[in-house]
Amino acid sequence: MAASNDEYDFLFKIVLIGDSGVGKSNLLSRFTRNEFNLESKSTIGVEFATRSIQVDSKTIKAQIWDTAGQERYRAITSAYYRGAVGALLVYDIAKHPTYENVTRWLKELRDHADSNIIIMLVGNKSDLRHLRAVPTDEAKQFASENGLFFIETSALDSSNVEQSFQQILTEIYLLVSNKAIESSQDNVQPGTGAQIIVSSADDYTKSAGGCC
Amino acid sequence: MNSNTRAASSTFWKRTPAFVPSTVEIVYSGSIENAPARAAPSAELSAAKQQLPPSPLTPPLDKEAAQPTTESPVPATLSTKSTSDQSSAVAVVPGDAHSLKFYSLLTSANVDIEELRKQSWKGIPASQRSTAWCLLMGYFPLNASRRQQTIERKRREYSDWVRQTFSRGEASLDRTLWHQICIDVPRTTPGSPLFQSPRIQRSLERVLYCWAVRHPASGYVQGINDLLTPFYYVFLSPFLASPTNDLQHQVDALDESTMGTVEADSFWCLTKLLDGIHDNYTHAQPGIRRQLVKMKDLVSRIDAPLASHLDSEGVEFIQFAFRWINCLLMREVSLTNTIRMWDTYLAEPEGFSSFHIYVCAAFLLKWSKQLQQLDFQDILLLLQKPPTESWTAKDVELLLSEAYMYKCLYHNSPNHYSAAPAAAPAAAGHKR
């Protein structure tokens, strides 16, 4: 009945989380529409957008849920973590408190998201060099210790936005492909790394995602 | 302000000699209000209104004429002094029965609130909206003889709070709360020059902070900033009288007492508004969740095929209607159209808490046919940004009428809103 106008090989659900005002909505609009709005309104509840990219000659469609940053909305937005295979956890490199809150956001994900979700820590607003409050190395190390991917972006000047989504989608794809290969070979391959599945709630153990 | 507002504004600012009935003392009724492309009263009214220069020294019509000048040692931007009090500004134009009716209603010794509601349902003339809203909100007493005294007291009370709250500087404020308000205020109605005015923004911050600290069960929740803007818009209207391009200068030129009364009145009206929907913003937002259940139930009764299509596509009401309820559809319709909607909401019993759900249902049904052709993704994309840019007051009025019809059909239906399966006869009659 429904007319789907696009074909894809994989559909991955990604959530954008992080404190209010760190630029989640602009990362999303930059990636999906190549737009940036200095005066965008605050996100209420959740907002949704999609974009397809090519990885390894496969079409991967990202279904991205942008969430409200304010704490009051967490009860509502955590419902959207269900089924997400990736999360971009965003902070503002010019606002240290938003980085300090990353730990709380990680707890949110542990409590509400699938245990094998891939998480990328994103230091946004990298254009604000003169206002930097969070050193890159510190965040990189934190990410490494916590098994998160890491990147710094600027939704304003576009730097690394494409790469951040590309990378997380590619990682998810690789995990899913691994899983598919394993199933087809019908044997156990120890040590191949993390596994991820899109729709089942099977309880795979996630190994460290590594860090870039 | 959206594009159609801007486009329409040029016609609304023409200075037209006003008809002044001999029995009526009209002096001032400038307005920034403009209902785009509206053939109905308020457009004509705006165009026909007398537009005196926006001098803060020009007093509006004031039935309680001799107001005491209360000297209050409040911060720079606030005062309870009401030499240019908009509270009772009332104006009329010739040949407009609706407007004349309002004039006589609002100037009576004891306002007939039932009649005021009845008249307001159809829309309130822009020039009389600020007084009408304050009465309908329950902020102004209906009894004219008590009114001025009460208003003075409330304004003084607010300005005292502000003084107490902010006298010890920003360091004494709740940091998280203040930070959240400060990042949201600049992105409140970002397209509007009025709300980009630094003076208005500082004022919004004070109101939101004062309200939040007095309502710790919810505190400030994003979206409440949106709900404050219609009050500022309506209460400032009588004082801003020329085209919008130099709105900031006009705002800057307003005297302290005018800004003070606008701010205090906005605070109290916001308080009244939120009193009725407070559980929309308390922990886990139970009010919104409850209304989402009601809305889903309502839609499934009115338009079963749409409800079942949404269901089969995995679309949940919380995914698109959460914001509709949280922000009272202010993200979906323009500010001027919102103001028109609120005329009716204020006229309805439980307009913001109950009638709004019928409006949301009617709003969703606008796109029923289209939605039934779409898949999950396209449904959400459509409902996240419904094409209402070109909506005029007429579209809003149609929406309100449809909502009213649904309310009449379903509100007293014993099974309506109940979790139990619908009784067949109750639902059957409404299928189209």
CA distance from start to end of chain A: 43
**Percent above pLDDT 90 for chain B:** 67
Pick from B222, B255, B276: which residue ends a domain? B276
User: Going residue by residue through chain A (212 aa), what tens digit of pLDDT does each one get?
Assistant: 444 457 899 999 999 999 999 999 999 999 999 999 988 899 999 999 999 999 999 999 999 999 999 999 988 888 889 899 999 999 999 999 999 999 999 999 999 999 999 999 999 999 999 999 999 999 999 999 999 999 999 999 999 999 999 999 999 999 998 877 776 665 544 444 444 444 433 333 333 344 43
* pLDDT of res. B415: 54
Q: Are residues B217 and B315 in the same domain?
A: no
Task: Check which CATH number belongs to the domain holding B422 and give it.
Answer: 1.10.472.80
Answer whether residue B3 is part of any domain: yes
* pLDDT of res. A195: 46
C-beta atoms surrounding B239 within 10 Å: 28
Q: Are residues B163 and B248 in the same domain?
A: yes
Could you tell me the residue range of the domain that residue B333 belongs to? 1-30+284-432
Under a CB-based contact definition with an 8 Å cutoff, are residues B215 and B60 in contact?
Answer: no
Q: What is the DSSP string of B266-333?
A: HHHHHHHHHHTTGGGTSTT-HHHHHHHHHHHHHHHHH-HHHHHHHHHTT--HHHHHHHHHHTTTTTTS
Q: What is the mean pLDDT of residues B45-55?
A: 35
Answer whether residue B270 is part of any domain: yes
Q: Are residues B195 and B80 in the same domain?
A: yes
Tell me if chain B has a CB within 8 Å of the CB of A2: yes
* pLDDT of res. B428: 39
DSSP A116: T
pTM: 0.80
Number of compact structural domains in chain B = 2
Choose the weakest-confidence range: A19-33, B81-95, B234-248, B272-286: B81-95
Q: Could you say which of A20, A48, A79 has the minimum Cβ distance to residue B183? A: A20
Q: Are residues B199 and B307 in the same domain?
A: no
Q: Are residues B250 and B290 in the same domain?
A: no
Q: Are residues B223 and B266 in the same domain?
A: yes
**Is residue B413 scored above 80 in pLDDT?**
no
Complex ipTM = 0.84
Q: Are residues B291 and B255 in the same domain?
A: no
Answer whether residue B52 is part of any domain: no
In terms of Cβ atoms closer than 10 Å to its own Cβ (0-12, 13-18, 19+), residue B22 is exposed
For chain A, the 3-state helix, strand and coil shares in percent, each to the nearest 5, are 35, 20, 40
Q: Which of residues 17-76 of A touch B (CB under 8 A)?
A: 20-21, 39-50, 63, 68, 70, 72-73, 75-76
Q: What is the mean pLDDT of residues B384-397?
A: 96
CB-CB neighbors (< 8 A) of B377 in chain A: 4, 48, 50, 63
Per-residue model confidence as pLDDT tens digits over B126-179: 999 999 999 999 999 999 999 999 999 999 999 999 999 999 999 999 999 999
Pick from B252, B276, B300: which residue ends a domain? B276
CA distance from start to end of chain B: 37
* pLDDT of res. A39: 82
Pick from B221, B251, B276: which residue ends a domain? B276
For chain B, the 3-state helix, strand and coil shares in percent, each to the nearest 5, are 60, 0, 40
Q: Are residues B186 and B73 in the same domain?
A: yes
Q: Are residues B83 and B219 in the same domain?
A: yes
A84-107 in b/e form (b: 16+ CB < 10 A) is bbbbbbbbbbbbeebbebbeebbe
The helix/strand count (H/E) of chain A reads as: 6, 6
Q: Are residues B309 and B377 in the same domain?
A: yes
Answer whether residue B115 is part of any domain: no
Q: Could you say which of B283, B312, B380 has the minimum Cβ distance to residue A48? A: B380
CB contact set of A196 (below 8 Å; sequence gap of 6+): A85, A116, A117, A118, A172, A175, A176, A179, A204, A206
Answer whether residue B48 is part of any domain: no
Under a CB-based contact definition with an 8 Å cutoff, are residues B80 and B70 in contact?
Answer: yes
Answer whether residue B101 is part of any domain: no
* pLDDT of res. B116: 97
d(CA B140, CA B131): 8
Q: Are residues B335 and B431 in the same domain?
A: yes
If you average pLDDT over every residue of chain B, what do you get? 80
Q: Are residues B159 and B254 in the same domain?
A: yes
Between β-strands A149-152 and A58-67, what pairing exists: parallel, antiparallel or unpaired?
A: unpaired
